[in-house]
Structures are given as C-alpha cells and as structure tokens.
Amino acid sequence: MADWGPVVIAVVLFVVLSPGLLFQLPAGNGRVVAFGNFQTSGLSILVHAVLYFALVTIFLIAIGVHIYTG
C-alpha cells in the first residue's frame, strides 16, 4: 500500500500558498494583504514559506494525515 497523504497535502498547500495566486501576505505596496495580484516580494516569499512549513508540519506530524491506495 502506498501512503499518498503527504503528497496530496504538500501539493494542495503549495498551490494554495503560492504568493500572489490567491493572496499575498504582506502585499509590499503598503497593504498587509492583497488578493490575486500575481506580484511577489522577498518578504512575501519568506512569510509564505514559513506558513507552508508550519501547516505541513501540523498536518503530517501532529495530525498524521494518511491516504492509502491499493
């Protein structure tokens, strides 16, 4: 049996937390949050990377999400 839980969680969070796709935190142009602007900054990349790491850690280690196939 293959455990697809980590793969699915990582891909979904990567897509959702891509800076500028759905939202950007901080926006860089004086605003705290911007939605769908497709522009990014170094600080925004750092913030989204920390959020990604924290959420992946929570979902995979603390909660233990598993999806088995086969």
Distance of alpha carbon 16 from alpha carbon 65, whole angstroms:
18
pLDDT at 46 (0 to 100): 92
Q: Which helix (H) or strand (E) holds 63?
A: none
Residue-level length of the chain: 70
Check residue 11 and give its pLDDT: 94
- Of 1, 8, 2, the residue nearest 60 (C-alpha): 8
**Residue range 22-34, pLDDT digits in tens:** 888 887 777 888 8
Is the pTM higher than 0.85? The answer reads no
The overall average pLDDT reported for the chain is 87
Average pLDDT per consecutive 10 residues, the chain (70 residues; last block may be shorter):
89 89 80 82 89 93 86
